Amino acid sequence: MGTVLAFDFGEKRIGVATGETLLGTAHPLTTIHAESNDDRFAAIAKLVAEWQPEQLVVGLPTHADGTPHEMTRLATKFAERLKRRYNIPVGFADERLTSLDAEARLRETGRNSKSAKPLLDAVAAQLILQTWFESPHVPTT
């Protein structure tokens, strides 16, 4: 039981969400905007130090039929780097359609696409984490 950090990995931005295993609810946290991997992992290190998670979750992107593509490989590589750097178990959650769902949810709050953009990746990470809480877990690395 404890804190979980989830990541919506992207080549330009990484959305981050947090939640507690006991409650099983996820909340958007932040979006990391960093050009270099060193800067990205420095930002993640600060979050890991602050939140002290027992588990990390990475959204696993696939085609609509579940087959992998290039972003699947990159997200898996990102998860492996998280595991090596922080020695915290890393699980995966299906992230198909989470960005579209996040966009729709933000529109429902009255935000247009421009005002929603800064929140989009963090809300997508929230949906990834909620999916992880609500489904049988893909094995952790």
Q: Is the pLDDT of residue 94 over 80?
A: yes
Q: Which CATH architecture has domain 3-134?
A: 2-Layer Sandwich (3.30)
Q: What is the pLDDT of residue 95?
A: 81
What token pair was written down for 48? 């890991």
Q: How confident is the model at residue 68 (pLDDT cuts 50, 70, 90)?
A: confident
Q: Which helix (H) or strand (E) holds 119?
A: helix 113-134
Q: List the beta strands (DSSP E) in 10-138.
A: 13-20, 25-33, 55-60, 90-94
**Rounded to two decimals, what is the model's pTM?**
0.85
Strand partners, 91: 57
Q: Which helix (H) or strand (E) holds 5?
A: strand 3-8
Give the whole-number percent of the chain exceeding pLDDT 90. 54
What token pair was written down for 33? 């905007």
Q: Which amino acid is at 2?
A: G
Could you state, in order of their start, the residue ranges of all structural domains in the chain?
A: 3-134
